[in-house]
Amino acid sequence: MAERILEKLTVPQRIMLAFGSSLGCLSLEELERKTRVDRKTLTVYLSRMTKEGIIYRKWRKIAGKKFREYCLKYREELTR
C-alpha cells in the first residue's frame, strides 16, 4: 500500500515526506533509500529545492571522509 502512495507523489513531495519522517538532516544515500528515486534525479531536485530556499546543504565528516548532507529549513527560516 505504501508503494502505491509513493507512486502517486511527485519527487519533491517524496523528498518532503522523507524529511518529515526523519528527525534531522539526511544524506543522499538515506534520501535515495527513503524516496526510491535514483541518485541523478534526486540531485537535480535537491539543487532546485536549495535554489528555492526550501532546504539547505552542509557537510558531514565521518571517519575522515566528507559527505553532503541535506536539511529542511525551519518554518521561521522559510518566512524570511
Q: What is the pLDDT of residues 18-73, one digit of tens each?
A: 888 888 899 999 999 999 899 999 999 999 999 999 999 999 888 888 989 999 88
pLDDT at 33: 93
User: DSSP code of 75?
Assistant: H
What kind and span of H or E run contains 56?
strand 55-62
pLDDT at 2: 63
Instruction: Tell me how far apart the alpha carbons of residues 43 and 63 are, in angstroms, rounded to a whole number.
Output: 24
- What is the pTM assigned to this prediction? 0.82
Closest CA to 18 of 28, 41, 8: 28
- Domain coordinates in residue numbering, the chain: 2-78
According to CATH, the topology of domain 2-78 is Arc Repressor Mutant, subunit A (1.10.10)
